[in-house]
Homo-oligomer: A and B are copies of this chain.
Amino acid sequence: MALFDLSLDKLRAYRSASTEPEDFDAFWSGTLEEARRFSLDARFEPVDTGLTTVEVFDVTFAGFGGHPVKGWLTLPAGAGEPLPLVVEFVGYGGGRGLPHEHLLWASAGRAHFVMDTRGQGSAWGGGGGTEDPVGSGPAFPGYMTRGIDAPENYYYRRVFTDAVRAVEAARSHPLTDASRTVVTGGSQGGGITIAVGGLVPDLAGVAPDVPFLCDFPRATTLTDRNPYREIGSFLKTHRGRAADVRRTLSYFDGVHFAARGTAPALFSAALEDQTCPPSTVFAAFNAWAHENKTIEVYDFNDHEGGGPYQEAAQLRWMRDRV
């Protein structure tokens, strides 16, 4: 069916049934504390891209476990003073790609930092270059079930930690203005955005676009599409482990990060999105704690969502903020 999820009226009122673990905050503060024991060690090496209106730096910083994580920092050429900063996370399977794939935000006068997602970057686009040096128990192909046996081992524990450190790394550059930091990203990048929005206290805004990694209890029983479906595929083999898996995922559900959101937010959802169904997006949006929040709704779109229209909405939204 074209419209397969709740009607817009019901979406606006929908609340996730995901249960928040009692030690959610302790888990995450412990995780970040552990990561910060490693020096951030952010390095910025200029890259010769052939571009003239922007300058690009190949960035390496220490993420989870002190592991080196890559990114690109792109600045308008000739910037002389600290700029508003946009930190971006990318979609599932992609990587930071090549520098000229990310021109929007620097062309709009912002400093832009895009983080590579560890282990990913081989499924589309220009690729990625960050190793995930941690192995896992038996997992279904993909990233969704790596280390799903326990919150401590789960893949996204490392990724969300990398993301918090990425904000710190980008802010450490002299030409970025930490007080005007916005985080954004689409799909998986939107899910990471929400997590960062719940973990980093002093952001100027968050802009998750058709975010993934929200409302796992509903998502995993509503859609047959990967990557949510990887979890069902894993449980198809590992019968009887649904409760354990549910527990692990509850530490990573965007719904709980949203309840800790401290910055204004611009979300987007698409009513025909079978990859990140709109109810799971609204679950996070409706839970978002900051009162200044907006959601763009695209009626006839699947997971491509608003695409360039959402970028335009973000340009307008940021113009008033950073």
Is A43 among interface residues, defined by CB-CB distance under 8 A? no
Interface residues on A, range: 35 or more
Give A229 Cβ to nearest chain B Cβ, in Å.
7
| Chain B nearest CB, measured from A145 CB (Å) | 7
Contact status B135-A52, CB under 8 Å: no
Which residues of chain B have C-beta atoms less than 8 A from A80's C-beta?
A: none
A148 to chain B, nearest CB (A): 10
Chain A interface SS verdict (over half): loop
B residues less than 8 Å from A127 (CB atoms): 138, 237-238
**Residues 1 to 43 of chain A near chain B (Cβ within 8 Å):** 1-4
A46 within 8 A of B: no
Stretch at the interface among A106-114, A172-180, A190-198: A106-114
Evaluate whether A77 and B49 lie within 8 angstroms (CB atoms) in the complex, with A122-B238, A221-B3 already known. Answer: no
Q: Mark A86-122, 1 if CB is under 8 A from B, else 0.
A: 0000000101011011011011110000000001111
With beta carbons under 8 angstroms apart, the residue of B129, B233, B236 that contacts A138 is B129
Q: Which of A203-211, A257-265, A279-287, A311-319 contacts B (4 or more CB under 8 A)?
A: A311-319
With a CB–CB cut-off of 8 A, which chain B residues contact A312?
A: 50, 98, 100
Contacts A103-B103, A125-B237, A126-B307: A135 and B138 contacting too (C-beta < 8 A)?
A: no
Are B308 and A223 in touch, CB under 8 angstroms? no
- Chain B nearest CB from A279 CB (Å) reads 12
A121 / chain B contacts, CB cutoff of 8 Å: 138, 237
- Interface residue ranges of A279-322 to B (CB < 8 Å): 298-302, 304, 306-309, 311-312, 315-316, 319
Chain B residue nearest in CB terms to A7:
B221
Point out the residues of chain B lying under 8 angstroms from A106, CB to CB.
53
Complex: A76 Cα to B237 Cα, angstroms: 28
- CB-CB under 8 A from A311, the residues of chain B are 98, 100
CA distance A76 to B106 in the complex (A): 13
The answer to whether B233 and A123 have CB atoms under 8 Å apart is yes
Sample of 15 further A-B pairs with CB below 8 A, known A100-B107, A141-B142: A2-B224, A3-B222, A49-B315, A50-B315, A52-B76, A54-B107, A93-B141, A122-B145, A122-B238, A125-B237, A126-B307, A132-B135, A134-B135, A239-B300, A240-B309
